[in-house]
Amino acid sequence: MLILENILLAFHSLRANKMRSLLTMLGIIIGIASVIAIMTLGDSLSKSVTDSMSSMGANNVTVGLQQKSTTTEVTGSGMTFSFGPRMTKMQEKDYVTEEMLSDLKTRYAHSIEGYSLSENIGSGTAQHGAKYAYVNAEGVNDANLKNLDLTLLAGRFLTERDQKEGRKVVLVSDLLVKNMFDGNSMEALEQTVDILFKNRYYTYTIVGVYQYEESSMGFSSTSEEDTETMMYLPLKTAKDQNHNTMGYSQFTILTASGVSASEFCDTVETYMNQKYYSDNNSFEISAMSMESIVKSMTEMLSTVALVIAAIAGISLLVGGIGVMNIMLVSITERTREIGTRKALGATNGSIRLQFIMEAIVLCLIGGALGILLGIGIAAVATKMMGYAVSPSVNGILISVSFSVFIGVFFGYYPANKAAKLHPIEALRYE
């Protein structure tokens, strides 16, 4: 009951000095708003990046060739540096072949569902009459296309026959159709387009139109007419166009359900390096999983946001000093009130509690306003950057706890000073 009475007294005191209370809370409001805004921005960015990278296949293993490190040097301080040979051009014997992929799948049949394979042709300009669009062409196999999880708007996906025969058929985005066929997807089907790659034209037939989705990794100021979208064609078609008969420098393993991608990376590296690349002096197999990349990225973003928030939190100390200052002024102004209460039997503890509760209420109100302001700022900022706002629950809990701590810490000294006042001297105070 005593706590409730003290809270009501605190609100009465704040109402009696509205402007002074608001100015005192300003430091708390700014400090809390800064911390909340930064942590919310950090969480929103982290969630957006994580979702974007997870959609690429968090349980997939990307395997590629890298230069071997041949020389290791240890400095006097104990730091180790590895030096590899000069960057050498890959030879036919260095590439991962279809036979190697088949062997790996046989060896780990229960862990591997399939391979996502691709062959990038590069950027080009698609033309149909006087109209044009920019594309980035990539040959994909069935597993890669399925893993992309495209939304088909018209036509069909690439078929097994397209893949085997290396047909010159393509999947294009609805943005390309908008630029070249006035947005009519049905009209675009079975139409041929000429695409300029490295000063040479290639002709393809459109068999499907997919829905273009802008990357959630950020926003672009490029107009729709100048936006480059992906164009997908059969893997064999792309390899034939690139005259690639050697194999793959990179591929993605689609792991089976329940397989830890991070652990499987080591297994793949060890097996392939020991069996196929132990005698290769220039290249070796390196594997990484999207799961580990997502985890590292999330931890890095969270750490950066926390450090920046901690720096912003310094302003809370300034706000706390302001609270202490106003409480000392309040005690001076209310010395006779304190003397009267003590003369009527109020204990030192009840006087101390009264002023501590007043400081806590002051900080909590400032904290609440700061939380609302911080979320508002973060919402506007994330919307401008093209991310979905994700309020930081941890930031809110930390801010509320810190508000209470500031109230107790910076309110204790003035409250203790008030509690120690002698009732006779307090009543004599003018």
342 and 404 housed in the same domain:
yes
321 and 363 housed in the same domain:
yes
Edge-to-edge strand order for the sheet containing 283-289?
112-116, 250-255, 60-67, 283-289
Distances in Å between the alpha carbon of 5 and those of 2, 49, 227, 292? Answer: 5, 49, 65, 54
Residue 39 to residue 393: CA distance in whole angstroms: 9
pLDDT given for residue 331 in this prediction: 76
Write down how long the chain is.
430
161 and 222 housed in the same domain:
yes
62 and 48 housed in the same domain:
no
Render pLDDT for 274-309 as a digit per residue (tens, 0 to 9): 999 988 888 999 988 876 777 777 777 777 777 776
Residue 426 to residue 409: CA distance in whole angstroms: 25
pLDDT given for residue 51 in this prediction: 64
Single-letter amino acid code for the residue at 8: L
Whether pLDDT at 312 is above 70: no
Whether pLDDT at 427 is above 70: no
Whether pLDDT at 55 is above 60: no
205 and 259 housed in the same domain:
no
**Domain end position, chosen among 289, 318, 348:** 289
In the predicted model, what is the mean pLDDT of residues 203-207?
95
129 and 147 housed in the same domain:
yes
Number of domains in the chain: 3
Is residue 121 within 8 A of residue 139, CB to CB? The reply is: yes
pLDDT band, very low/low/confident/very high, at 425 (cuts 50, 70, 90)? low
Cα 152-44-216 angle, rounded to 5 deg? 25
Residue 268 DSSP class = H
Q: What SS3 class is residue 231?
A: strand
Is residue 215 within 8 A of residue 48, CB to CB? The reply is: no
Residue 417 to residue 410: CA distance in whole angstroms: 12
Render pLDDT for 75-97 as a digit per residue (tens, 0 to 9): 555 555 555 555 577 788 889 99
265 and 381 housed in the same domain:
no
233 and 265 housed in the same domain:
no
124 and 142 housed in the same domain:
yes
Domain, as residue range, for 424 = 2-53+298-428
Q: Where are the alpha helices (DSSP H) in 56-150?
A: 98-107, 142-148
Whether pLDDT at 1 is above 50: no
Residue 248 sits at φ, ψ, to 5 deg, of -130, 140
Average pLDDT, the chain: 81
Query: What is the DSSP annotation of 184-217?
Result: -HHHHTT-EEEEEETTEEEEEEEEEEE-----TT
Residue 123 sits at φ, ψ, to 5 deg, of -85, 145
277 and 303 housed in the same domain:
no
Is residue 133 within 8 A of residue 169, CB to CB? The reply is: no
103 and 122 housed in the same domain:
no
Is residue 193 within 8 A of residue 181, CB to CB? The reply is: no
272 and 302 housed in the same domain:
no
The two three-digit tokens of residue 263, written as one number: 């652990």
